[in-house]
Structure 1
Amino acid sequence: MEQNEALLKQLSRENQKAQNHVVNLMESFRAINSTLELDEVLKKIMHSALKIVETAEAGYIQMYDAISDKLIVKTYVGFNENIKFFKVNIGESITGKVFRDGDIRLITSTEEIYNSMANLSEENLEFITKAHQNSPTIKSILSVPVALGTKTMGVMTFHCFDVEDGLSETDLLLLQSFASQAATALYNAQLHTEVQNSLDEVIHLSKKLKETNAMLEKRTEIHTHLTKLSVQNKGLEAIILEMNKLMERKLVYADYLEGNYVPQHIQHIATILDDIFLLFANKTEASYVSTYDSVQIDCYIYPIRSGSVFLGCLIVEGNTPLLQPDQLIIEQGALTLSLEIMRLRSQTEILYKKTYETYHRFLEIRNLQQAELVAQELGIHHDHFLQIALIELDGNADLLSLENDALLLLAHLKEKLRLENSLLFSYNNKITVLSFTRDSAGEGMITNILKNGMNWWNERFTVVARGGISTGQYSPGQAKDYHMKAEKALLHLKKQKEKGLLHYRDIGISTLFLHHPAEEINSFLSETFSVLWNNNETNDELLHTLFTYIQNNRSMATTAKELHIHTNTLYHRIKKVEDLLKIDFNHYEDHLKVLLAVYLYNTFMAD
């Protein structure tokens, strides 16, 4: 009960924090749109951004100057006047690359920051260092392009000097939402300045300004409306349904984490879901696509991401260009959805962490009554036969994306493995499956479902899924043994660089060597094969002959046929091997030693 209350309090704090972020954003939107004077707008943007990114200690905004072809600092907070002389070329240092590529950069390592600044001129390095003399070393940096549509106008950058990992993914997400509003405000201010400086164009520019303001008002209205649903905890489905009410054309949200879509009544989307996820898992830009199954489906796909993590897609059917109001709804809806999804994901991670801890507590218990109580906490009950499977994903250096993939595979397995007395959860990129049945009859069914699910994954994704499973009669205390056996089966697959699912009982003699270091096995092989273990052409031939001879159970006829040599030639080769290695195949221990060495080489060392 106390744990549940603590969890609820933590969730409440997270919700309150999310609401505070929304309030800060809305106040910032109002502040930066309260004036059209360019210098004043820049100052308001800078001060508002520092309220949103609370951990930042200093920041500045650079705008692109077409005459000098450089990024010029227009406003700053937390720096001295030396920052005014900091002018970078396009592609120079971090901010120059952000402007050139249009990508957000969050760097939380001092070493990586200064490596990214390697092409910064000595003059600019001196200016940026002198601009904050009290704390010249940057601990973390967040740099965001200020862009309206496809036009990049400048770069907004924040520094953290005193706190390690001061800037975070949450700061990035919030600033991303704010940056689009800031870009609109700057664009409006620039238009206003041009109007004041060019009276001949005042009518045209005034009309354009009104249109832009109307768009901004509409955008703010949509953003406020959808954000309100999120703050009120209405859920993803309520946000999607409300977006559908606002739009001229209907849309569907495809959830990558859950592997499903909303609204559910648009059923033909299910036939193209896997293809869409494959196409857009690594994309950041929206585009029109055509898919072919039983019928052709044309649609506009808008990927939703949080940093490097792919969350899902908004799908609008049709190949005609979207009307501007619909584009605004999709853009603002995507921002709201990403915040909502990350909030839900945080809650899921907390629940799975608690489940992980309770599961491992269950493994350690040997008392029947205590084990039953902990099992009830996990939502299961004891039975006679137990299956434990551990599944791991491998192949993506980005840990957040890897955890994202694990949640997708987990959702797929949950859909297929709908057994009442089962537990499935993901933690630290590892999926755990625990299932109780009355007898062993269900073992084959569960194993096949897991194998099919992992095959489904491995056929579609480059990230490899592999798993180990162990089954048997249950009594308190044995669950841990089966867990360890599943771990060993998984370890065997990893050492073999294989994918799929392996049962512990199918490992065979390899269980004796799973935890042996590779160096120790290699040393045994070198000692066993001694003089044959080199790159000499003759010795390579003898080593190949030896391996073939052992693998054919010492059959002279079969080995000679496979090597395409006469049996007399084979006899002389084997005799030479015995002489060189100082062994006798008729001697039991010599035969067993070579047999084991060949097995270890093929199992653990061969590519």
Structure 2
Amino acid sequence: MKVKTIDTEASIAEYMTHHFPSRDYQIHFAPNGYDRRLVCAAGSEESDARTPFAELTLDYEDECKIVVRFFGADGAWTASQAKELHWRLYPVYAEWRMERQQYILRQVIASIRSMTSMLDVDVLLNNILEQAMMVIPWKVLGTLWMYDGDVQALKAKASVGKHRDAVSGMMLQIGEGIVGKTFRDGQARWLRTAKDVYEEAVASTSDQNLHRMYYSGGFHDTQSVISVPVFVDREPACVLIFNQYGDRPQFTSMDFQLLQSFADQLSIVLMNARLFRDLNNQNALLVKRDQIHASLMKLSLQSKGSERIVQEMGKLTGLPLLFIDSLDNKKHASRGSGPFRRLDLERLHKQFDADQTPGPYSQGGLDEDGAFYIQPIVSAEAVLGFIIADMNRDLTPLDHIVLEQGSSILALEMVLKQSFTDSRYKRTSDMFNEMLLQNDLTVIGQRGKELGLEEHMPYLAALIVLKQQSGLQMQASGNRLVELLRKAFVGQLPVVFVSNNKVTALLAIAEQDQGQAKTRLEAVLQEAGVRVEEEAAVAGMGSVYRGLLSIQKSYTEAGKALGYLESRKQKGVIRYVEIGVNRLFLQQPPEQLEAYVQEVFEPLRGTKADASHLEETLLMYIACSRSTNQTAARLHIHVNTLYLRLKRIEELLELSFHNPEHLLRLELAWYLRGSPYA
């Protein structure tokens, strides 16, 4: 590399002749502070061998020096002469700096071109290392150490320069040696002397790696080291390290900055490689997703059924799968159901009916309970069922795609099946309602025969209303309830169907079995409603009557019993016969009953009456069956005080406790006051 021009040399010679006449001199340029290159000289060729001589060292940026050697006995110069000489010789340094910067720029541009024209990451890494080597004029070994997560150590990914074979096969732990510390701390290091290199390496490098480094002949003459971390997504991914050889340290601050810039280029290469790899993986997954969707959809179009689809999903994932159909209350395993035997399905329903997000699921946190992955089957924001995978290993992206695509295909299958079920229920509902509305015995008999009813059998009607649900979720709950009813009343349920949010059931049971039928129905509702916090359903039951003509009577009673429960805002099951005297008020408007209660008790609610607690006294008197002693004791008053209050009540209400009609009026108002109608 040139370090002078004719103009520069002529200018220096003129200056030296003017200020230092008859003096022999040599001017040397030392770009690294040590190795000297002759710029210009004056005198005989043997001048450098003369003695005595004196040297003037002029310092410039980037650790560059220019040394002026004067020959002769008189070697003194003034401070002003030294300062002017520094200025006169600055073009030598400037020209060198400009040429070096242009050379570096060409190498960086070549490196950038490589980055934009190649896709092979290994070739790119080697090219960038070679470009970095070309801008550093010293003898160096450049190595890129990359972290390998499989072995949890740093391995040499690429190496260029002297002794590059010495690093192949080596593995460094995080924090081990100069490379390991750079990776751990994420901080660049510049070890300027051989002593610093030795102390830094020996302090934390394993004996095995030390032996390989120093006894392989590859690192014994290292004079200085620059180690720079390479970041990807703000996290250290690898380390770029340059070992400089020779008889003295020669790295400069410019070299340190250059290697950091090449580390930034490596970061871009690795980031692009990661993005390209992720893009390829994503594209491959999308292609695979389309293939999986087509495969499962083909089974659906061929009407192979849900079980065949689940079997195919099990083959694609290699995982044991359990399919739960909440519409039909059925389940099917792709292979042995052993892993799912201890699965609490009711608890599962309770959790995922509210939160429909797929995710891991574990029961109780015990190892023997196992861990599962739950993929809800959702349609129109309603959970129709579940695909449950036994997580005997971590799920891959392909597993997630199979579960996602399979759940959508199964949802379509289940919605189609529900459409057929709704059609069947609609036909049953139409025939049943027509039978109830008919007066023609012939038509009633015909409809009963179509429904599978025998003419003189005893029947009981029951009506169940589903709460807090709508749409497909209500249909799923209705189907589940129907399946539970069929299981509870095997052979005793000739007619059952769902219409909107109401389940109609006709039970063929004997009169003496009515109490047992209510108990079984309560158990069914409890099992069906355990998934929600509020009551899931309420039910009313009519009485048992013989013959098809009496079904309408039992059905009407069931409706009244159900209305009674809903009006009282109660839950559970009630039989019509259990309503008792309230049957007298079922057809009365609540407003009229409330007015009646108000009419009876209003005279006792005046200011003076309230002070005497007359209303409380009357209520307690009737509750105690008009026992004066018991009433006085419960009110904590003397019996004479009670007599005075009772007399005052008779006066205000204008009645007598000894008049049966008056007494009935009071007791009826007292009863209604505690009923929902008051």
TM range (shorter): 0.5 to 0.7
Q: Distance in 2 between matches of 1:476 and 1:407?
A: 26
Match of 1:220 in 2: 290
Does the 8 Å contact 1:525/1:597 carry over to 2?
A: yes
Q: Find the aligned partners of 2:307 and 2:328 in 1 and give their Cα distance.
A: 13
- Answering whether residue 365 of structure 2 is matched by residue 326 of structure 1, we say no
Structure 2 residue corresponding to 1:299, chosen from 369, 372, 376:
372
1:496-548 deviations in whole A, cap 9, x for unaligned? 11111111111111112123222222111111212335799926932222222
1:483 to 555, 571, 580: 555
Give matches, 1:230-249, under 5 Å. 230-249=300-319
Q: Is 2:415 aligned against 1:342? A: yes
What is the deviation of 1:483? Answer: 0.6
Equivalent position to 2:519, from 441, 448, 468: 448
Consecutive unaligned residues of structure 2, counting only runs of 5 or more, are 1-267
Instruction: Evaluate the alpha carbon distance shift between residue 476 and residue 380 of structure 1 in structure 2; reply closer, same or farther with a 3 A threshold.
Output: closer
8 Å contact 1:364–1:477 — kept in the other structure?
no
Letter in 1 for 2:300: S
TM-score by length of 2: 0.56
2:561 alignment partner, SS class = helix
Q: 1:444 Cα deviation (Å)?
A: 3.4
Q: Which amino acid aligns with 2:573?
A: L
Residues 526 and 533 in structure 1, CA contact (< 8 A), matched pair in contact too: no
Aligned partners of 1:539, 1:313: CA distance in 2, in Å?
64
Partner of 2:504: 432
Aligned residues: 407
Distance of 2:446 and 2:439 partners within structure 1: 12
State the Cα distance separating 1:432 from its structure 2 match.
Answer: 1.0
CA displacement at 1:257 relative to structure 2:
2.6
Check 1:500–1:564 CA distance in 2 against 1; reply closer, same or farther (3 A cut). same
Larger radius of gyration: 2
Residue 560, structure 1, aligned to residue 632, structure 2: yes
SS at match of 2:564: helix
Give the distance between the partners of 1:536 and 1:429, measured in 2 at CA. 52
Quick one: which amino acid aligns to residue 520 of structure 2? I
State how far apart, in whole Å, the 1-side matches of 2:499 and 2:555 are.
15
8 Å CA contact 2:299, 2:305 repeated in 1: yes
2:468 is aligned to: 395
8 Å CA contact retained: 1:532, 1:540: no
CA distance in 1, matches of 2:431, 2:607: 54
Contact preservation (8 Å) 1:468, 1:486 = yes
Give the letter for the 1:598 counterpart: W
> CA offsets per residue over residues 547-568 of structure 1, 9 Å max, x none?
2222222222332333333322
Structure 1 letter corresponding to 2:311: L
SS at match of 1:471: coil
Note the alpha carbon deviations across 1:245-303, whole angstroms, 9 max, x for none.
Answer: 22121111222233332129516447511110011111121222221499523211122
In structure 2, do the counterparts of structure 1 residues 539 and 310 end up closer, same or farther at CA, with 3 Å as the change threshold? Answer: farther
1:551-591, Cα deviation, whole Å (9 max, x unpaired):
22222233233333332232222222222222222122221
- Report the counterpart of residue 429 of structure 2 in structure 1: 356
Contact kept? 1:300, 1:319, Cα under 8 Å: no
- Aligned equivalents of 2:325 and 2:574: distance in 1? 30
What is the alpha-carbon distance in structure 1 between the residues aligned to residue 608 and residue 333 of structure 2? 67
Instruction: Classify the secondary structure of the residue corresponding to 2:328.
Output: coil
Matches within 5 A, 1:4-83: none
1:310 is matched with 383
1:253 to 323, 327, 330: 323
Matched, 1:546 2:609: no
Q: Which runs of structure 2 are paired with 1:101-140 in the superposition (5 Å)?
A: none
Cα distance in structure 2, aligned partners of 1:541 and 1:310: 56
Residue 333 to residue 507, structure 1, CA distance change in 2 (3 Å): same
The 1:555/1:276 distance shift into structure 2, 3 A limit, reads: same
1:22-78 Cα deviation digits (max 9, x unpaired): xxxxxxxxxxxxxxxxxxxxxxxxxxxxxxxxxxxxxxxxxxxxxxxxxxxxxxxxx
| Alpha-carbon separation, structure 2, partners of 1:361 and 1:471 | 21
Structure 1 CA distance for aligned equivalents of residues 607 and 380 of structure 2: 49
C-alpha distance in structure 2 between counterparts of 1:539 and 1:591, whole Å: 24
State the distance in 2 between where 1:247 and 1:313 align: 16
**CA 1:391/1:250 → structure 2, altered by over 3 Å: closer, same or farther?**
same
Structure number with higher relative contact order (C-alpha < 8 Å, ≥ 6 residues apart) = 1
Separation in 1, partners of 2:474, 2:645: 51
SS at match of 2:350: helix
SS of 2:543's partner is strand
Distance 1:206 1:552 in 2: 88
> How far, CA to CA, are the matches of 1:384 and 1:540 in structure 2?
61
Deviation, 1:324, is: 1.7
Kindly provide the CA deviation profile for residues 140-169 of structure 1, in whole angstroms up to 9, marking residues without a partner as x: xxxxxxxxxxxxxxxxxxxxxxxxxxxxxx
Deviations 1:106-161 (Å, cap 9, x if unpaired)? xxxxxxxxxxxxxxxxxxxxxxxxxxxxxxxxxxxxxxxxxxxxxxxxxxxxxxxx
Relative to structure 2, which stretch is displaced further, 308-317 or 378-387? 378-387
Is it true that 1:406 corresponds to 2:478 in the alignment? yes
C-alpha displacement of 1:400: 4.6
1:370 Cα offset (Å): 3.1
Give the structure 2 partner of residue 93 of structure 1: none
On the 8 A contact 1:254/1:273 being kept in 2, the answer is no
Q: Distance in 2 between matches of 1:571 and 1:462?
A: 50
Gaps (5+ residues) in structure 1? 1-197
2:489 to 411, 417, 431: 417
Assess, with a 3 A threshold, how the Cα gap between structure 1 residues 351 and 527 changes in structure 2: closer, same or farther.
Answer: same
Identify the residue that residue 193 of structure 2 maps to in structure 1.
Answer: none
Asked if the contact 1:557/1:567 (under 8 Å) is kept, the reply is yes
Who is 2:134 aligned against? none
1:522 aligns with 2:594: yes
**Aligned counterparts, 1:164-183, within 5 A:** none
Structure 1 residue identity aligned to 2:601: F
Residue in 2 aligned with 1:513?
585
Secondary structure in 2 matching 1:239: helix
Closer/same/farther in 2, CA of residues 539 and 330 from structure 1, 3 Å limit: farther
For 1:209, the equivalent position in structure 2 comes to: 279
Question: Within 1, Cα distance between the matches of 2:530 and 2:630?
Answer: 37
The alpha-carbon deviation at position 215 of structure 1 amounts to: 0.5
Is the Cα–Cα contact under 8 Å of residues 384 and 473 in structure 2 kept in the other structure?
Answer: no
Cα pair distance change 1:233/1:503, threshold 3 Å: same
Measured in 2, the distance between the counterparts of 1:271 and 1:575 equals 69
Q: Tell me which moved more, 427-436 or 545-554.
A: 545-554
Q: What residue in structure 1 maps to residue 544 of structure 2? A: 472
Q: Equivalents in 2 of 1:461, 1:328: separation in Å? A: 31
Q: Which residue of 1 aligns with 2:458?
A: 385
**Other-structure match for 1:495:** 567
What TM-score do the two structures reach when normalised by structure 1? Answer: 0.62
The 2-side partners of 1:293 and 1:368 are apart by 63
Verify the 8 A CA contact 2:459 2:508 in the aligned structure 1: yes
For each residue in 1:203-258, what CA deviation from the matched residue of structure 2 results, as whole angstroms up to 9, or x when unmatched?
A: 55443332222111110111111112222222222221221122121111222233
What is the alpha-carbon distance in structure 1 between the residues aligned to residue 619 and residue 490 of structure 2?
47
Percent of paired sites with the same residue: 30
Structure 1 residues 499 and 533, CA, compared in 2 at 3 Å: closer, same or farther? farther
Letter aligned with residue 335 of structure 1: S
| Counterpart for residue 445 of structure 2 | 372
Deviations along 1:422-457, one digit per CA (max 9) or x if unpaired, are: 2222111111110224x4244333222112212334
Q: Say whether the 8 Å CA contact 1:552–1:558 is kept in structure 2.
A: yes
Indicate the SS of the match to 1:604.
Answer: coil
Task: Report the equivalent of 1:590.
Answer: 662
Q: Match for 1:324: what amino acid?
A: P
